[in-house]
């Protein structure tokens, strides 16, 4: 019963949050042409990449550190804030975008705060903070769009993270800043950072690469497909957020993992069959994304397998294998975008997305098997 309530607390926030954000982006897709839609995601990609580089204390590191009561949390958060400040200044100097600088800090503060809440297993507070942020994001993003145009959307997004400052303060009040506390966990922190960085490269570098190679319109169609993917992956991501804190505390949920796999197969089938109908009837300007959405729906199962094995390995502080899997995925994705995209355009980019997900899942399954065999040798 406690398990169901905890998952529900995470799930309600995530489902409602992703739903609100999806409604916002889908509404924007009806208002903007593909090039404008692509341009927004291009600058969000730049902010996302800068935030990934800055996030020394990743959300996953904080979840495990808080759950295991390591005294590293405030120190990691402090270092992250310093690096983020440098990244923000560089963004201003290179792109002259104050909105992009602001949202970098929003991303950082929310990521650290969510890691803290999930590590503490305060699932109700997690739900409240996430849901509040998504409501603010959708309302402020829409409001600023009508006030000052497309440029206002990112300003609205940035302001939606302000309430996380309350949790951010608690992180620093919990433990003292002491760099010596990092030494005994340095490998875990390093591997998790590199893993998070590789996720950032896969998620954001792709958007940045697509623009000079194929233009804003292709990125706009791809970005809409990614919005649908976020909805399709919602269930698996909820389970991951629940499992990581649980498994870090040596609480196993094997039956739940099997159910998650079965559900992900069903979701993938729905994505392939139903989503193209939504594009045709609601987003006629984005008709070119239909084939990409069909192909990308095939990534749901391998992505779910990756999530489950990632939770297992990170909870055991075996982050090296997770990191290698993500690096392989990033390389596959980038090479696929450049090569397959050249010949198959948006569909080629979608195939690269699925290939990267599948290769990562296979590698993590293999790595986990090897580690299990070593344990019993």
The domain locations on the chain are 2-376
Residue pointed to by tokens 């990691």: 76
Residue 100: pLDDT over 90: yes
Angle (CA) 348 351 354, round 5° = 155
What value does the mean pLDDT take over residues 50-66? 85
What is the predicted pLDDT for the residue at 319? Answer: 75
Ranking 47-56, 73-82, 111-120, 177-186 by mean pLDDT, the lowest is: 177-186
SS3 169: helix
30 has pLDDT over 60: yes
Q: What is the mean pLDDT of residues 47-60?
A: 89
Closest by CA position to 226, among listed 286, 175, 280, 269: 286
Q: How many CB atoms lie within 10 A of CB 3?
A: 12
pLDDT for the residue numbered 18: 79
Which of the residue ranges 87-96, 152-161, 197-206 would you say has the lowest mean pLDDT? Answer: 197-206
Q: What is the mean pLDDT of the chain?
A: 88
- Sequence-distant (6+) residues with CB within 8 A of 304 are 233, 236, 260, 261, 264
Is the pTM here over 0.75, yes or no? yes
Query: What confidence tens digit (pLDDT) does each residue in 196-210 have?
Result: 888 888 888 888 999
Q: What is the pLDDT of residues 296-351, one digit of tens each?
A: 999 999 999 999 988 888 777 777 888 899 899 999 999 999 999 999 999 999 99
Which of 1-10, 218-227, 241-250, 268-277 is predicted with the least confidence, judged by mean pLDDT?
Answer: 1-10
Say whether pLDDT at 276 is over 90. yes
Copy the structure tokens of residue 143: 């409001």
Burial 58-96 (b: 16+ CB within 10 A, else e): bbbbbbbbbbeebbbbbbbbbbbbebbeebbeebeeeee
- Reported as a single tens digit per residue, the pLDDT across 228-248 is 999 999 888 888 878 877 776
- Please name the residue that has the structure tokens 């963004």: 91
Determine if residue 121 is left, alpha or beta; phi over 0 gives left, psi from -120 to 50 gives alpha, anything else beta. left
Percent of the chain, pLDDT > 70? 94
User: Residue 6's pLDDT band (boundaries 50, 70, 90)?
Assistant: low
Task: Say what the pLDDT of residue 39 is.
Answer: 95
Contact 161, 106 (CB under 8 A): yes
Q: And the tokens for 13?
A: 């926030």
Looking at the predicted structure, is the pLDDT value of residue 3 above 80? Answer: no
In order of 110, 157, 238, 297, the CA distances from 126 in angstroms are: 11, 19, 12, 28
d(CA 352, CA 363): 17
Structure-block tokens of residue 144: 């600023």
pLDDT on residue 88 = 94
Say which DSSP state 184 is in: G
């Amino acid at each position: 019963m406690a398990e169901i309530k905890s998952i529900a607390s995470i799930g309600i926030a995530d489902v409602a949050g992703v739903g609100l954000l999806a409604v916002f982006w889908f509404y924007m897709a009806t208002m903007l042409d593909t090039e404008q839609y692509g341009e927004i995601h291009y600058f969000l990609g730049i902010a996302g990449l800068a935030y990934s580089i800055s996030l020394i204390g990743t959300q996953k590191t904080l979840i495990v550190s808080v759950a295991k009561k390591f005294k590293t949390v405030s120190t990691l958060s402090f270092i992250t804030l310093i690096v983020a400040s440098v990244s923000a200044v560089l963004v201003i100097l290179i792109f002259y975008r104050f909105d992009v600088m602001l949202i970098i800090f929003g991303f950082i503060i929310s990521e650290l705060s969510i890691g803290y809440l999930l590590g503490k297993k305060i699932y109700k507070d997690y739900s409240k903070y996430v849901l509040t942020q998504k409501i603010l994001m959708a309302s402020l993003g829409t409001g600023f769009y009508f006030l000052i145009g497309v440029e206002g959307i990112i300003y609205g997004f940035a302001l939606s993270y302000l309430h996380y400052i309350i949790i951010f303060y608690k992180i620093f009040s919990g433990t003292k800043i002491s760099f010596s506390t990092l030494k005994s966990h340095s490998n875990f922190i390093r591997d998790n950072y590199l893993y998070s960085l590789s996720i950032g490269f896969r998620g954001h570098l792709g958007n940045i690469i697509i623009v000079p190679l194929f233009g804003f319109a292709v990125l706009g169609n791809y970005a809409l497909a990614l919005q649908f993917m976020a909805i399709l992956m919602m269930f698996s991501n909820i389970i991951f957020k629940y499992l990581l804190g649980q498994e870090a505390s040596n609480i196993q949920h094997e039956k739940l993992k099997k159910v998650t796999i079965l559900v992900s197969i069903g979701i993938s089938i729905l994505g392939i069959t139903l989503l193209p109908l939504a594009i045709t009837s609601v987003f006629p300007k984005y008709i070119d994304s239909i084939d990409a959405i069909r192909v990308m729906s095939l990534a749901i199962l391998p992505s779910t397998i990756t999530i489950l094995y990632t939770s297992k390995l990170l909870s055991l502080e075996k982050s090296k294998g997770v990191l290698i899997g993500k690096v392989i995925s990033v390389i596959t994705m980038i090479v696929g975008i450049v090569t397959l995209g050249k010949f198959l355009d948006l569909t080629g980019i979608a195939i690269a997305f699925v290939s990267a997900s599948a290769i990562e899942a296979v590698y993590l399954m293999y790595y986990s098997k090897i580690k299990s065999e070593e344990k019993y040798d």
